[in-house]
């Protein structure tokens, strides 16, 4: 049914305004929820990155140990080879040089083995810290994911309510005569949040410009449909 009488049109506009206000507050709520989603997702990313960094350090330490072990093996081979070459020595001088070389390699081997021991000790301590970090990370991730899923549910509810509000608004707008409808739709494009606004303290709440007395009377008497002469929004008087 198309609203033709002023009272009917106004009644529809009041409805639409109420729906628009609800839509605005829903959208604001959804924005705030999305900000929280971003915040939590950033936190998750940071936790994962920190963890990955530590894991990388752990791998590096492990690799260092393997490298040193390979070095020790090489010293051992070299020492064995040198010892094997003893039989082909002809002079005392050559013999002493060989012994010196072998001793030097043995010293280096001992030093490297000490380094390995230190790394192994460090690694053990590191494993302990790493385990702690892992536990802490997992519990944080769990908490954050719980929060995220709560927020995402709220967003879903908000979206479904928004869907209902949009549908409700469409139904109301469909009741307006073509002329009012066209004006409303144009206004909505310009002022998505408040194409319809209230007269308050002699001014239009939309643009804060004062409204001429005669227009105010028309609005208050609900005798004529009025638009703000400055911004064009539909003006209604706030019902007590
Ligand atoms: Zn205005």
All structural domains of the chain, each given as residue ranges with its CATH number in brackets, are 36-173 (1.10.287.1490)
Which pTM does this prediction carry?
Answer: 0.77
Q: How much distance in Å is there from the Cα of 230 to the middle of ligand 1?
A: 5
Model confidence pLDDT, tens digit, residues 151-180: 999 999 999 999 999 999 999 999 999 999
> How far, in Å, is the centroid of ligand 1 from the Cα of 197?
8
The band of 32, judged by pLDDT with boundaries at 50, 70 and 90, is very high
- DSSP state at residue 238: P
202 in helix, strand or coil? coil
Closest CA to 80 of 51, 58, 102, 113: 102
> Tokens 């936190």, residue?
43
- For the stretch 22-31, pLDDT in tens is 999 999 999 9
Is the CB of residue 196 less than 8 Å from the CB of residue 225?
no
For the chain, the average pLDDT equals 94
Residue 211 Cα to ligand 1 midpoint, Å, equals: 8
**Separation of 89 CA from ligand 1 center, angstroms?**
109
The rounded Å distance from CA 205 to ligand 1 centre is 7
Predicted local confidence at residue 118, as pLDDT: 94
Q: Are the beta carbons of 180 and 31 closer than 8 angstroms?
A: no
Place of tokens 């390979």: 70
* pLDDT bucket at 240, cuts 50 / 70 / 90: confident
Cα 173 to middle of ligand 1, angstroms: 21
Confidence of residue 2 (pLDDT cuts 50, 70, 90): confident
């Amino acid at each position: 049914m198309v609203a033709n009488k002023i009272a009917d049109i106004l009644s529809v506009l009041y409805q639409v305004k109420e729906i628009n206000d609800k839509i605005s507050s829903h959208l604001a709520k959804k924005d705030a929820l999305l900000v929280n989603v971003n915040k939590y997702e950033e936190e998750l990313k940071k936790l994962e990155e920190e963890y990955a960094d530590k894991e990388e350090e752990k791998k590096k330490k492990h690799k260092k140990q393997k490298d040193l072990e390979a070095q020790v093996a090489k010293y051992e081979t070299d020492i064995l080879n040198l010892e094997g070459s003893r039989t082909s020595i002809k002079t005392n001088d050559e013999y002493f040089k060989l012994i010196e070389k072998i001793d030097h390699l043995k010293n280096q081997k001992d030093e490297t083995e000490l380094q390995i021991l230190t790394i192994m000790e460090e690694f053990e301590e590191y494993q302990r810290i790493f385990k702690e970090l892992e536990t802490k990370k997992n519990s944080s991730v769990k908490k954050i994911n719980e929060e995220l899923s709560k927020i995402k549910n709220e967003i879903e509810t908000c979206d479904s309510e928004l869907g209902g509000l949009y549908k409700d608004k469409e139904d109301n707008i469909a009741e307006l005569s073509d002329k009012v409808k066209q004006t409303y739709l144009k206004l909505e494009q310009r002022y998505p949040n408040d194409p319809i606004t209230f007269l308050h303290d002699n001014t239009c709440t939309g643009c804060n410009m004062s409204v001429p007395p005669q227009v105010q009377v028309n609005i208050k008497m609900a005798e004529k449909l009025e638009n703000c002469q400055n911004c064009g929004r539909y003006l209604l008087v706030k019902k007590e």
